[in-house]
Amino acid sequence: MVTNRPRSPGPGLPVEPVHGPGTRPGPWTTRRFTGSGTARESNTRYGQLIADGTTDLSVAFDLPTRMGHDSDAPVASGEVGRTGVAIDSVDDMRVLFAGIPLDSVSTSMTVDAPASLLLLLYQLVAEEQGFGADVLRGAIRNDVLQEYVARGTYIFPPKPALRLAADVFTYCGAEIPQWSTLSVSGHLMAEAGASPAQEIAFTLADGIEYVRAAVAAGLDVDEFAPRLSFVLMARTTAQEEAAGFRTARRIWARVMREEFGARNPESLAPRFRTQAEDGRHGAGRGGLSRERGGSRSPHPGSFEQALTPSAHEAARPAPRGLRALAYDTDVPTAAGLSSGLRTAGRAADDIEAATVELMRRVEDFGGAVAAIEHGYQTGEMEDNACRVPREAGSRERVSAGAGGFRIDEGGPHEPPREPLRVSSSVETRQAERLAKLRAWRDQDRVDRHLAGVRRAAAGDDNVLYPMKEALSAGATVGEVCDALREIWGTYTPGGPF
């Protein structure tokens, strides 16, 4: 239970970075978030990234896929392949990872509401390549709760969505043991207007709700909790960001120990990653906050990410900058890690009181799901987003990543580079692929397995097993989601705020 009074860290509380001075295992991991158009086009881009030295892939999916709609659905018109790759069936996933041995890469899939389906498609393709699920490494974001607060790409109401997430936890524990089943994404709340304290409070409150769901499903907290990760935004100064990480780690360790009885040190010391705002400049800030705050993996965005899926040229600067910071400076050394810890610790004390108070209010509603249904988090974030510009006044901070300095990218005669554009023909090609799939597959077999999905959703059985059978038979992402919609319904925002 979260209390309203901040307390000093007791013995064993991992307030300092997970890897203390002199014990850090090596440079951080880096992933390039990319993908657009068709599976074949994205496969080419992943091959380029691997040639550049990338071993950790991060897949961006388009809006119809993230909303559980097929590319030929009327609601998907105009959006196919535009914010990520379009994946409609196991056939698309097969093309996406053609020539990429899934036993030797770690793949992160940035998707929430239909995360279970994309994971199952990945598993099916790995099995076709001859690899067992026990060798697969990677992560799905699977953070369904932030969708109601920050992004709006939800499908089902919060309670069945949380049940689906818990089914993923159970399934991966039994079938895909090396897979990370959840990444709680506070950085999306920051992008939606949350203050640093709100970002941490609502992120941790969501994490607590997920742990409660996992424990209710019969999972051991010390088996499940180490598989969680959290993503926070690198948006202020490195010192302030380090203080935020310390605050989050301090509170999380206390809750895990006092409410859930966790004893595994990895349950008490959560994995944090950093999302930087800007791909050109965010690598440095993300790396510094990573070291001072204990973030294990800075994830800077492409410098075109706010406008369009990233072209290869836009994807290169961030990982190259991180590699330079990791290998050509002393930032990852003990000296770099320990610098500024005292100041960051004092700042963490200041942030903790506001964070704990917000978490207490969420608990007063009955937890994160109940607070979402009342519109509490959204209301608080909207109030902050409106208040910050008024309070900023003349206290504007110059940031290298926010246009504070000009960097000339090329020579005086180099023409402006056009950002990546996704052709409208992608939608036509995806519709044609779907038409062929439906013509070739055994429709009676598909219908039988979709009926099994409905039965599991209406009962207590884990829905991933019949979902995998349906996808293997040729059912599409949209068809499986429609089967779940029939039982669970869809979410309509409400509440007093």
Average pLDDT estimate for 167-190:
93
Percent of the chain clearing pLDDT 70 (strictly above): 69
Question: Do you know the residue count of the chain?
Answer: 497
Residues 6+ apart with CB under 8 A from 25: 19
Predicted confidence band at 104 (pLDDT cuts at 50, 70, 90)?
confident
Burial label for 459, CB within 10 Å (0-12, 13-18, 19+), is exposed
Find out whether 33 and 310 touch, Cβ atoms under 8 Å: yes
Region label for 367, one of left (φ > 0), alpha (ψ between -120 and 50) or beta (otherwise): left
Please spell the DSSP secondary structure of 431-445, one letter per residue: HHHHHHHHHHS-HHH
Distances (CA, A) of 217 to 133, 202, 211, 372: 22, 23, 10, 22
DSSP lists the bridge partners of residue 272 as: 230
Checking if the pLDDT of 204 tops 60, the result is yes
Which helix (DSSP H) or strand (DSSP E) does residue 244 occupy? Answer: helix 238-258
Residue 397 Cα to chain centre, angstroms: 28
In this prediction, residue 390 carries a pLDDT of 55
In this prediction, residue 407 carries a pLDDT of 46
In this prediction, residue 211 carries a pLDDT of 96
Query: Looking at 31-35, 124-128, 410-414, which range is the least confident one?
Result: 410-414
pLDDT per position as a tens digit, 206-265: 999 999 999 999 999 998 998 888 988 877 666 777 778 888 888 999 999 999 999 999
Checking if the pLDDT of 187 tops 70, the result is yes
Find out whether 129 and 101 touch, Cβ atoms under 8 Å: yes
Query: Looking at 186-195, 246-255, 407-416, which range is the least confident one?
Result: 407-416
pLDDT per position as a tens digit, 420-434: 566 678 999 999 999
What is the C-alpha radius of gyration for the chain, rounded to an integer number of angstroms? 22
DSSP lists the bridge partners of residue 48 as: none
Predicted confidence band at 79 (pLDDT cuts at 50, 70, 90)?
very high
Region label for 308, one of left (φ > 0), alpha (ψ between -120 and 50) or beta (otherwise): beta
DSSP lists the bridge partners of residue 359 as: none
Mode of pairing for the β-strands spanning 179-180 and 182-185? unpaired
Helices (H) and strands (E) counted in the chain, each on its own, are: 22, 9
- Give the residue among 240, 212, 241, 211 at the shortest CA–CA distance from 228: 211
Residues 6+ apart with CB under 8 A from 355: 197, 200, 201, 204, 247, 248, 251
Average pLDDT estimate for 42-57:
83
pLDDT per position as a tens digit, 248-294: 888 999 999 999 999 999 999 888 877 765 544 444 454 455 444 45
Average pLDDT estimate for 344-357:
77
Give whichever of 261-275, 367-381, 412-426 has the largest mean pLDDT. Answer: 367-381
Q: What's the token pair of residue 216?
A: 């209710």
Average pLDDT estimate for 136-147:
94
- Give the residue among 480, 485, 489 at the shortest CA–CA distance from 88: 480
